[in-house]
Amino acid sequence: VNLILLEPGEIGDGGVVRLRDARARHVSSVLNVARGQQVRVGVVDGPRGLGDVESAAGDDVVLRCVFEAAAPPRPAVDLLLALPRPKVLQRLWAQIAALGVGRIVLTNAEKVERHYFDTHILSPDGYRPLLLEGLQQARDTRVPDVSIHRRFRPLIEDELDDLIGDATRIVAEPAGARAIADVVASRPPARMLLAVGPEGGWNRFELEMLGAHGFTSISMGPRTLRSDTACIALLALAHDAMRSLQ
Amino acid sequence: VNLILLEPGEIGDGGVVRLRDARARHVSSVLNVARGQQVRVGVVDGPRGLGDVESAAGDDVVLRCVFEAAAPPRPAVDLLLALPRPKVLQRLWAQIAALGVGRIVLTNAEKVERHYFDTHILSPDGYRPLLLEGLQQARDTRVPDVSIHRRFRPLIEDELDDLIGDATRIVAEPAGARAIADVVASRPPARMLLAVGPEGGWNRFELEMLGAHGFTSISMGPRTLRSDTACIALLALAHDAMRSLQ
């Protein structure tokens, strides 16, 4: 954890925050800071800042926080992800949030098994702590928006424009010819949406539907990757391509 | 699994192979192929090919295989990785092999805990099946070479040249200024070695030693990543940069 995230309601007068949970133990035992030292803090969906440690004793820590004027920008990359197996998704939440996404759109696809939807990690109580874990790792405060879509076609045909707007749409697939950096360089986007298919890939109908709705196919090389590996790899490539525009 | 890996000794006259283990069950039940159909096969560290299914019944499958003339090239990227926590490494082996590495050099560092070395997954019996799992996912046959080094300094000062030769040496670190694509484009390498530090990062001594032994610092952006996420992200960027040279 490289930043302690605070809920807005936890911050009292003068920026004083009292922690009595796992964050307190992290400050006392892992960061190992004491009165007079500082820790990085952030408000969920708000600004980052610094907290002066006023007291730190086991699971009772008091910080006096000063925050920056503005929240960090929302990451400029969004993700359209065919719902992975629960065990895989469980591991992915924090990694996706750490790499940085503005929005996570989880969708059905032919090769997504129905029972994947019957899992507590699809409830905000299940995934939000994992997203916050990833943000604290990456020193971000912006919690990705999450939406879950049990029907692929209405999502792509009717709902995606409202969710994603005019982000440049990218789908990684074995037949893709271009590199993501070329797509970005040829028409620098304000935002990107990356589509990552299920284990076994999108079927032909799904790929045609993505193509008909503005998705450009890109390649990540000849090696077939597991969908969680592909997801991390593609997010890394997209952020790298966006940074290269700056 | 997108390719069934065979040990050289399993291949009989006329390319006939009899499988009676998890691979047989995978062919029968997951790939769901029957007599007359084909599956992709490969010889460990040898060529890829196709196997005609002669019979497939539960955990007893007979294939007649024909192989390509040459083995696929060894991946042109190597990895120098500060030993991660056992649980993290356990998950990484297959992902690293799927992304493609020629050699994995595991090293100690100040922030590597000593007990990380006391684990069965550091024995070939522990990690080789996981590497093969990743290769089967990515349709590769080249098993990465693995070496484990309990002392950082002798590794970097004395052993690395023999292990890695003249590969372009890259270390990802927060203070890195260049993008990996720039390093690759400015002096196109035949091979690359990527150094990924421990949770908490390399210490100053370690970074200076890497710098003094030819490592160029690169940045993966302002977000601090967990070392497994960083490892996957950096491998993806390196392969992408190498592909862009072709």
Mean pLDDT by 10 residues, chain B (246 residues): 95 96 91 92 98 93 96 97 95 97 98 92 94 97 97 97 94 88 90 94 96 95 92 96 87
Q: Is the Cβ pair B95, A239 closer than 8 Å? A: no
Of residues A233, A166, A161, the one with CA closest to residue A196: A233
CA B186 to mean position of chain CA atoms:
26
pLDDT tens string A3-34: 999 999 999 999 999 999 999 999 998 888 98
- Residue A227 is inside which H or E element, if any? helix A227-243
* C-alpha to C-alpha distances, B4 to B34, B56, B62, B97, nearest whole angstrom: 15, 14, 12, 15
Q: Is the Cβ pair A224, B95 closer than 8 Å? A: no
**Nearest CB to A140: which of B94, B99, B223?**
B223
Q: B99 contacts in A (CB within 8 Å)?
A: 223, 225, 229, 233
Q: What DSSP assignment string belongs to A121-156?
A: GGSHHHHHHHHHHHHHHHT---PPEEEEES-HHHII
| 3 state DSSP class of B103 | strand
A to B CB pairs, distance under 8 Å? 92
Shortest distance between the Cα of A158 and any Cα of chain B, in A, equals 33
Q: A100 contacts in B (CB within 8 Å)?
A: 223
For residue B73, what is the DSSP state?
A: P
Q: What is the ipTM of this complex?
A: 0.93
Residues of A with CB under 8 A from a CB of B: 2, 91, 94-95, 98-100, 137-140, 179-181, 220-226, 229, 232-237, 239-240, 243-244
pLDDT tens string A147-173: 999 999 999 999 999 999 999 999 998
Q: B229 contacts in A (CB within 8 Å)?
A: 95, 98-99, 232
Q: Is the Cβ pair A233, B99 closer than 8 Å? A: yes
Task: Note the pLDDT of residue B70.
Answer: 96
Q: Is the Cβ pair B2, A224 closer than 8 Å? A: yes
**Nearest chain B residue (CA) to A226:** B137
Task: Name the amino acid, one letter, at B100.
Answer: G
**Nearest chain A residue (CA) to B234:** A236
Q: B85 contacts in A (CB within 8 Å)?
A: none
Of the pLDDT bands very low, low, confident and very high (cuts 50, 70, 90), residue A216 is: very high
Terminal C-alpha separation, chain B? 28
**Nearest chain B residue (CA) to A244:** B179
Q: B235 contacts in A (CB within 8 Å)?
A: 233
Task: Note the pLDDT of residue A244.
Answer: 86
| Separation CA B140–CA A36 (nearest Å) | 55
Is 0.80 surpassed by the pTM of this model?
yes
